[in-house]
A = this chain, B = another copy of it.
Amino acid sequence: MADSQNKKDLAVARTKITFDVKDMTNHIYGGSTNVEHRRHIIDLIAKEPVFNKDDWAWLNHSDAVKRGVAMSTRLAEIMIEHDLDDLDFAILTEVIDDTIPILQHNSLFLPVIKSQGTDEQIQRWVPPAEKFQIIGCYAQTELGHGSNLSRLETTATFIPETDEWEIDSTTFTAAKWWIGGLGVLATHAVVQARLVLRGKDYGAHVFIVPLRSLDDHKHLPGIEIGDIGPKAYNGFSKMDNGFARFNKCRIPRENMLMRFSKVSRDGVYTKPPHAKLSYGSMVFLRSVLIRHMALYFSRATTVATRYLTVRRQFNNPTSRNDSALNPTLETQVINYPMVQNRLFPMIAQSYAFFAGGSQMTSMYFNLLSGLSSGNVEALAEVHAMSSALKAYATTFAAAGIEECRKLMGGHGFSYFSGLSHLFASAVPSNTYEGDNFVLTQQMARYLLKEIKTARSATPERVTPFSKYLLLGLNKSALSRTTSSVTGAEDWLKPEVQLAAFEHRCARLAFELSDAVDQGGLDLENPKTWSDHNIECYRISHAHAQYVLVLWFIQSIHDAIAEGSADPATIKVLERLSHLHALHTIQTNLADFVEDAYLSPSQCQSLRAQVKALVTSLADDAIGLVDAFDHPDFLLNSALGANDGDAYKRLWDKAQTEPLNQKVVCDGYEEYIRPLLKKHGDIKL
């Protein structure tokens, strides 16, 4: 194949785009100011040698952590030099493209002190932390315990004689574990430990514990400390996830963060006024994860779309085949319907995650401003929504990245595809900030409460995103409901799409409610909540999908209303929104047909419409991923670079492999030659 064919293929594909890519980019990021600011931050990082990614592929965990440390300290300097704030920090973490030891200093250590410290404590700890005179981490998880705070084994026992806390890990399962920054970098930790006062256990509280000497960085007496070792898929390799075990370490009483709970000099414990106030930070972390997933997932679809545009394999005699014009060329892989039907719904889903990420973040900030004026009404819904969306989006995005990698065939398995690093960075989100399966119970619990409201004298008090529950009040009517679709074109009506999702959510929620009320379906054992967790999982995902469909549709309505996007942009967004909604139904079809809501012929017209929508996006696929505006530095993919020169880049990257710097490999004299020569020389 001619060496320049790759680049030519991508250039030709770009001539067919039906909308203005810049306009789409502005729509995705909420305006050109945001787009430029993101680019500015990216450039800030991309130009620094320490953030260069060229040798990442060769680093083992020790080398990678050392690099992570170098990246950490430079990041700290950049934040001070450019006076960057928390929102910039979010972009920085995207751009750096790996977890590094200092991240939790800004994302957990400082926020916890600011939110749970008294004014004096904030004054004492925050300024040196902001100047990086101390570097902190957040130590909650233990070897034996993760989410179950009440069963943490680390204790903080008050010693009245010296006005101190004694931090202790009795067994090694009490060791703090997984703590980012703890392995080699942090000088201090915010430690979650059970507060023990005169023999009484008051549950988990937070304490600032010095870990390493500020003079020589050696760990302090009584603390066993280290790195927990490499992670799956070489993920988080630059992060020093660490462990710490405390052997009766003493800290002053004032090192307990006392904005809410307090312990006085004479050992009197005061309870916090609002137990739920600490929800805020969890809700925030989960809310921003939706946007993170949009960023991650859209990088994967960008790489796959570009590579599949330049990869040619076999011959497909369709009208779209330019090998009709040039018979020496094979078909571009992206022109195969099977490939389009796998890839384009993922592009649509990326757009849905961007729309959902914006909405979820606004919801969170609305909640915050409400809370600050004492309004806690929205807390329960936002908490449930962020849980359901986090569980769904992180599951989908990680699996989708791997699907993009597999779509790229053999070369997708090269490290240089860039997607394995992306998967390894994204997939732990399925587990952290609440395991995705456990988390789905939050939405289910919330909906059960909402069903009570729907059945009460004031059903109008059902919260906006649960209004569909009103459909289920008349059970027999619900079970008789069928979709109004009569032909394939009906599937393109947003109200038809939403009705399907609402019906499904209502049915699943009431089935759960009935099962809980009646004490069971068919099983013999007495029912408990955990016996319903499969149904919780189903309804939570159903709700998340409904909300994402709704928000994607609304975001287009808003853009039309505000006149913030070109008509051509709107047109392709509408196709994406249709594809997102209908492909989600198709993927979860059983939920829509097992109660006969959809008929056999409606299922057929749905499948036909999905296929037609996919086909309609063929000319725009490359523009849709270009619009995500991910520069080559961020993608770090030989196969997905902006110029399309995939084979050349893959070739060039291989030449840099350290093994290739030697003509004869290490181990030849020791292993290979003795084997070859064992039976004497041979001439062939």
Asked if A330 is at the interface of the complex by the 8 Å CB criterion, the answer is: yes
Contact among B73, B522, B605, B665 with A671 in the assembled complex (CB-CB below 8 Å): B73
List which A641-679 residues lie within 8 A (CB) of chain B. 647-648, 650-651, 653-660, 663-668, 670-676, 678-679
Which 6 residue pairs across A and B have the least CB separation, nearest first?
A232-B420, A589-B590, A184-B665, A522-B608, A338-B533, A226-B660
Residue contact A171 to B3, C-beta cutoff 8 Å: yes
A280 CB-CB contact with B under 8 Å: no
A447 → chain B closest CB, angstroms: 17
Q: List 9 A-B contacts (CB under 8 A).
A: A133-B679, A135-B672, A135-B676, A143-B650, A178-B410, A217-B673, A226-B659, A316-B528, A338-B533
Residues of B within 8 A of A409 (CB): 146, 431, 435
Additional pairs, 14, CB under 8 Å, beyond known A58-B62, A69-B672:
A3-B171, A61-B658, A66-B665, A69-B665, A73-B671, A73-B674, A73-B675, A143-B647, A146-B313, A172-B647, A185-B665, A228-B654, A406-B430, A596-B596
Q: Is A414 an interface residue (CB 8 A)?
A: yes
- Report the minimum CB–CB distance from A168 to chain B (whole Å): 15
When the two chains form their complex, are residues B66 and A57 in contact, meaning their CB atoms are under 8 A apart? no
**A221, chain B: closest CB distance, angstroms:** 13
Q: Is the CB of A410 within 8 A of B141?
A: yes
- Identify which of A8-16, A147-155, A263-271, A366-374 touches chain B: A147-155
Interface stretch (choices A124-132, A448-456, A545-553): A124-132
Return chain B residues, CB-CB under 8 Å to A435: 409
Tell me, in angstroms, the Cα distance from A432 to B412 when the chains sit together: 11
Given contacts A145-B313, A596-B600, are A134 and B676 in contact (CB under 8 A)?
yes
Chain B residues closer than 8 Å to A1, beta-carbon distance: 144, 153, 171, 173
**Do B431 and A58 touch across chains, with their CB atoms under 8 A apart?**
no
Q: Which residue of B lies closest to A675 (CB)?
A: B73
Per the bound structure, the CA–CA distance linking A115 and B167 in Å amounts to: 70
Number of copies: 2
Q: Is the pair A678, B131 in contact by a Cβ cutoff of 8 Å?
A: yes
A428 to B410, CA, bound (A): 8
Task: Verify B654–A243 contact, CB threshold 8 A.
Answer: yes
Given A73-B672, A530-B336, residue A229 in contact with residue B415 (CB < 8 A): yes
Would A410 and B430 count as touching, CB distance under 8 A? no
A341 within 8 A of B: yes
Query: With A1-B144, A330-B151, A420-B233 in contact, do A131 and B414 touch (Cβ < 8 Å)?
Result: no
Indicate if the CB atoms of A147 and B313 lie closer than 8 Å: yes
A572-631 residues at the B interface, CB under 8 angstroms: 589-590, 593-596, 598, 600, 603-605, 607-608, 611-612, 615
How far, in Å, is A661 (CB) from chain B's closest CB? Answer: 9
The answer to whether B530 and A316 touch across the interface, beta carbons within 8 angstroms, is yes
Is the Cβ of B424 less than 8 Å from the Cβ of A410? no
Check: A525 CB closer than 8 A to any chain B CB: yes
A65 is an interface residue with CB less than 8 A from chain B: yes
Residue of B nearest to A406 (CB): B430
Size bracket of the A interface: 35 or more
Complex Cα gap A510–B415 (Å): 42
Find out whether the CB atom of A657 lies under 8 angstroms from the CB atom of B233.
no
Contacts of A596 in B (CB 8 A): 596, 600
Name which residue of chain B comes closest to A317, CB basis: B528
The answer to whether A132 and B420 have CB atoms under 8 Å apart is no
The minimal Cβ–Cβ distance linking A301 to chain B, given in whole angstroms, is 17
- A460 at interface, CB cutoff 8 A: no
Contact across chains for B128 and A682 when beta carbons are under 8 A apart: yes
**Residues of B close to A330: CB separation below 8 A:** 148, 151
Residues of B within 8 A of A317 (CB): 528
Q: Is A681 at the interface (CB under 8 A from chain B)?
A: yes
Residues on B with C-beta less than 8 A from A175 are 651
Closest chain B CB from A58 CB (angstroms): 5
Quote the shortest CB–CB distance from A5 to chain B (angstroms): 9
| Interface hits, A215-249 → B, CB 8 Å | 216-219, 226-236, 240, 243
Specify which chain B residues have a CB less than 8 angstroms from the CB of A670 in the assembled complex.
70
> Known interface pairs A668-B217, A684-B210. Does A537 touch B338 (Cβ–Cβ under 8 Å)?
yes
Q: Give the residues in chain B near A594, CB-CB below 8 Å.
A: 589, 593, 598, 600, 603
For the complex, what is the distance from the CA of A316 to the CA of B148, rounded to whole Å? Answer: 12
Query: Would you call B678 and A70 a contact (CB within 8 A)?
Result: no
CB-defined contacts of A593 to chain B, threshold 8 Å: 590, 593-594
Q: A664-B218, A672-B69 are in contact. Are A233 and B230 (CB under 8 A)?
A: no
